[in-house]
Structure 1
């Protein structure tokens, strides 16, 4: 279950940084748009992107972000991608996230999938 403070941050428009594991074991990070879906964290990507390939092989993730009103208080989430959504279910989430950040639905020019993350740990602040 997402804590209220973490949910507020994820439902805002801060960019998150996603960390995954490359095939050789080294870290891979990328900034991305983020959102929530029920008690899960969600983001979208191309089905063959580096992060999607990494997460299909090893579903562990770490996310970090800060909010504009308190950029010195880190918010972190660790968990696992438990589900991949595509089709209409994915596009409903993709459009909600894109509209939050840009004010309009996401272009249908490219294939997109949604990663659903079950949070194992979450924290606000250093600790």
Structure 2
């Protein structure tokens, strides 16, 4: 089994598929230790978008050092995964956060709850995170 750069169409389709897969975000803490947490993610062209609190471990880490990795996987045989490596930038623009917070919530919670979650997440103290994708690795049918 080789871990190679998946074709662009496949990895974006995999990450953007419904039902939505939770990404596992990896950042580096200030002391150099790893920190991995689940995040809700959407694809916007060649970038990934998610939200987090400004004062969380992941928010502080992204502000300090924008390098991140996010892994997505299909836990059903024959198993697929994609890991995206990139550089994150943040925004606190309320209108942008509301748009993306609602869109991301629709993917994970459904259209009926999207506006509620969008409003809850588009508040002071939250960050919209955009990830410029630098590298993608992944594999399909890992168990084959």
Provide the TM-score with structure 2 as the length reference: 0.77
1:60 and 2:74 correspond: no
Matched, 1:11 2:26: no
Equivalent residues, number? 125
CA distance in 2, matches of 1:123, 1:109: 33
Larger radius of gyration: 2
Cα distance change, pair 107–39 in 1 and its aligned pair in 2 (3 A): closer
Listed as ranges, the gaps of 5+ residues in structure 1 are none
Could you tell me which of 119, 122, 125 is aligned with 1:108? 119
Divergent runs of 4+, >6 A: none
* Partners of 2:61 and 2:129 in 1: CA distance: 12
Structure 2 runs not aligned, ≥5 long: 1-6
> 1:86 Cα deviation (Å)?
2.7
- Given the two structures, how large is their TM-score scaled by the length of structure 1? 0.87
**1:36-55 alignment to 2 at 5 Å?**
36-55=43-62
Q: CA deviation at 1:79?
A: 0.6
**Cα separation, 2, equivalents of 1:65 and 1:116:** 17
Distance of 2:77 and 2:100 partners within structure 1: 27
Query: How well do the aligned residues superpose, as a CA RMSD in angstroms?
Result: 2.1
